[in-house]
Amino acid sequence: MRFSNGILLGMASALETLCGQSYGAKQYHMLGVYLQRSWIVLFGCAVLLLPVYLFITPLLVALGQDPGIAAVAGTISLWYIPVMFSYVWGFTLQMYLQAQSKNMVVTYLAMLNLALHLLLSWLFTAKLRLGLAGVMASMVIAFWIPVFGQLAFVFFGGCPLTWTGFSPSAFTDLAAVVKLSLSSGVMLCLELWYNTVLVLLTGYMKNAEVALDALSICLNINGWEMMISVGFLAATGVRVSNELGAGRARRAKFAIFNVVATSFSIGFVLFVFFVIFRGRLAYIFTESEAVADAVDDLSLLLAFSILLNSVQPVLSGVAVGAGWQSVVAYVNITSYYLIGIPLGAVLCYVLGFQVKGIWIGMLLGTLVQTIVLLYITLKTDWQKQVGITRERLKRWYTDENGRSQDSRGNP
């Protein structure tokens, strides 16, 4: 499930680049065209992922999983298919609206999503006692309601400049959208799968139960802080793409400096907080002293991870805004999979650092990624980047009839 979530979210993030730069360049109707192209591309991707969901039970059995667990996973997988298709519209509409700074619509509908999910889960499970079917049905309904809300907002006048109706232009130049979407998908998935691989490595350790509990707690705390950074990532991507599209290099640089400084300041405060409280935070999740001691042993590494994660996502947002997804994908492969994971495995299994060794590997992989992205950002000629953005917009700009035009509307 997380696999498809990461792929579709990553591919949808290409829309941040396309819509953000077009909005800054005042090529307003192109946002609607890009939105429709992304629907086509992501729907095709979702269809290609269908066999994984349909045949997950025999696949898990073939991989040695217990048949009973595989059967339950197969049932959940079938229920998850409509959720996966909701991502096609939900993720793309969110990127489209964020590029225009229409964030409150997304926020209100996300709050509605959460409230509905809680209410329906309680109703279907506690009251109607529908069990697993009730939980999954509530998830399906809760995920589709915001999609319908966003569609209604767009179709019925919420975006008069950028939505001019369905256009035949949506079926042209799909190759460019596919290329950028795939780069975005690879970039994000490499980051999401990184933590999954680390948990998998931890599962092979001695006393793996305590180690997994401690690692899961630390990853959860890290994930909470990451939500703040992900917000800055989205804001940076939108602001940088808007400024580049508008041809304002100095304002793009100022936006980057401002967001990095703000996010780092918040990260530093949280760094100090976690250094002070250390393993005591583990009792929010567990009553086990062994697990709390293991979390205490990891807490300093967790604090440094939080500090790094206050900068790294913002730099990823810069990459999204500038359209550097393919470059960042290579950086992620190198820093995470050629440095972080191998180093963590050596420290854990060869040198005996156990779960701490895995976390040190993760931390060093993230550090390498952050340094490289920071170097790329500092060395970028932003005035030249404005020129690259203008050429891209000129190449992809079409009128409502699908005819190519330059950024001033000349054939």
106 part of a folded domain: yes
Residue 306 to residue 191: CA distance in whole angstroms: 15
| Residues 139 and 234 occupy one common structural domain | no
**Three-class secondary structure of residue 3 per DSSP:** helix
Task: Spell out the per-residue pLDDT of the chain, length 411, in tens.
Answer: 555 667 787 788 888 898 999 999 999 989 999 999 999 999 999 999 999 899 989 988 887 777 887 888 889 889 999 999 999 999 999 999 999 989 899 999 989 888 888 898 899 988 888 888 888 899 899 889 999 999 999 999 999 999 999 988 888 878 878 888 888 888 777 777 776 777 666 666 666 677 777 777 887 888 788 888 888 888 899 999 999 999 999 999 999 999 999 999 999 998 998 888 877 878 887 778 888 888 888 888 888 888 988 898 899 999 999 989 888 888 988 998 899 889 988 988 888 888 788 888 888 998 999 999 999 999 999 999 999 988 878 776 654 444 544 433 433
214 part of a folded domain: yes
| Residues 216 and 100 occupy one common structural domain | no
Q: Following DSSP, what letter does each residue of 337-358 receive, concatenated?
A: IIIIHHHHHIIIIIS--HHHHH
Provide the pLDDT for residue 203. Answer: 62
| Residues 163 and 222 occupy one common structural domain | no
| Residues 243 and 332 occupy one common structural domain | yes
| Residues 286 and 163 occupy one common structural domain | no
Q: Which domain holds residue 27?
A: 1-172
Choose the final residue of a domain: 150, 172, 194.
Answer: 172
| Residues 215 and 151 occupy one common structural domain | no
Q: How far is CA 64 from CA 17, 77, 318, 319, in A?
A: 42, 18, 43, 40
| Residues 325 and 259 occupy one common structural domain | yes
| Residues 215 and 125 occupy one common structural domain | no
| Residues 196 and 75 occupy one common structural domain | no
* Three-point CA angle 35, 39, 42, nearest 5°: 130
| Residues 136 and 249 occupy one common structural domain | no
Place of tokens 């780069």: 183
Q: Which two tokens stand for residue 92?
A: 């793309």
Residue 329 to residue 341: CA distance in whole angstroms: 16
Q: Which two tokens stand for residue 395?
A: 């190449």
| Residues 206 and 166 occupy one common structural domain | no
Provide the pLDDT for residue 117. Answer: 86
55 part of a folded domain: yes
407 part of a folded domain: no
Q: How far is CA 387 from CA 217, 299, 323, 381, 384, in A?
A: 46, 45, 13, 10, 5
Residue 12 to residue 185: CA distance in whole angstroms: 8
How many Cα atoms within 13 Å fall on the side-chain side of residue 22? 31
Choose the final residue of a domain: 172, 196, 220.
Answer: 172
* Three-point CA angle 293, 298, 301, nearest 5°: 160
CA-based nearest residue to 236, from 322, 155, 161, 352? 322
107 part of a folded domain: yes
Stated pTM of the model? 0.84
Choose the final residue of a domain: 129, 154, 172.
Answer: 172
Please count the structural domains in the chain: 2
Alpha-carbon dihedral angle through residues 361, 364, 368, 374, given to the nearest 10 degrees: 140
3-state secondary structure 260-308: HHHHHHHHHHHHHHHHHHHHHHHHHCCCCHHHHHHHHHHHHHHHHHHHH
| Residues 14 and 112 occupy one common structural domain | yes
